Amino acid sequence: EDKVVQSPLSLVVHEGDTVTLNCSYEVTNFRSLLWYKQEKKAPTFLFMLTSSGIEKKSGRLSSILDKKELFSILNITATQTGDSAVYLCAHQGGSEKLVFGKGTKLTVNP
């Protein structure tokens, strides 16, 4: 059965810190891995990583995919209070169903 495990489940840091969020997955016929940010309401898309795109960067956020070790990390540098959110990881595999992890709740204190 396909599954996604995120760690840590929650994290509290101070503004300016760098954080690394982890996502490990088990999937048959990997197609893509996605990261979403959820601030109280709907998840908003951050990154999609596929076999042809294993590293993505946008501003202070970056993500890499290790297909051999079956994990991905989301890195946030110089964190700000606005980065406080739940970060969701999801993968799409051969079953064609998007499977989400439980999320990492990030709290950035001033």
Partner 1 sequence: NAGVTQTPKFQVLKTGQSMTLQCAQDMNHNSMYWYRQDPGMGLRLIYYSASEGTTDKGEVPNGYNVSRLNKREFSLRLESAAPSQTSVYFCASSDRVWSTDTQYFGPGTRLTVL
Nearer to partner 1, 17 or 38 (CB): 38
Is 50 a binding residue for partner 1 by CB under 8 A? The answer is yes
Alpha carbons 54 and 32: distance in angstroms, whole number: 10
Amino acid 49 reads L
Per CB under 8 A, does 72 bind partner 1?
no
Binding mask 11-30 for partner 1 (x = CB under 8 A): --------------------
| 27 neighbors 101 (Cβ within 8 angstroms) | no
- Please say which residue, 17 or 32, places its beta carbon nearer to partner 1: 32
| Separation of alpha carbons 47 and 55, rounded Å | 9
Q: What are the backbone angles phi and psi of residue 91, rounded to the nearest 5°? A: -125, 160
State which residue, 6 or 63, has the beta carbon closest to partner 1: 6
Which residue number, 10 or 77, has a Cβ lying nearer to partner 1? Answer: 10
Q: CA–CA separation, 79 vs 103, rounded Å?
A: 18
Report if residue 58 touches partner 1, rule: CB under 8 A. Answer: no
- The number of beta carbons lying within 10 Å of the beta carbon of residue 32 is 17
User: Footprint of partner 1 on this chain (CB under 8 A)?
Assistant: 4, 6, 9, 31-32, 34, 41-45, 48, 50, 88, 90, 92, 96-103
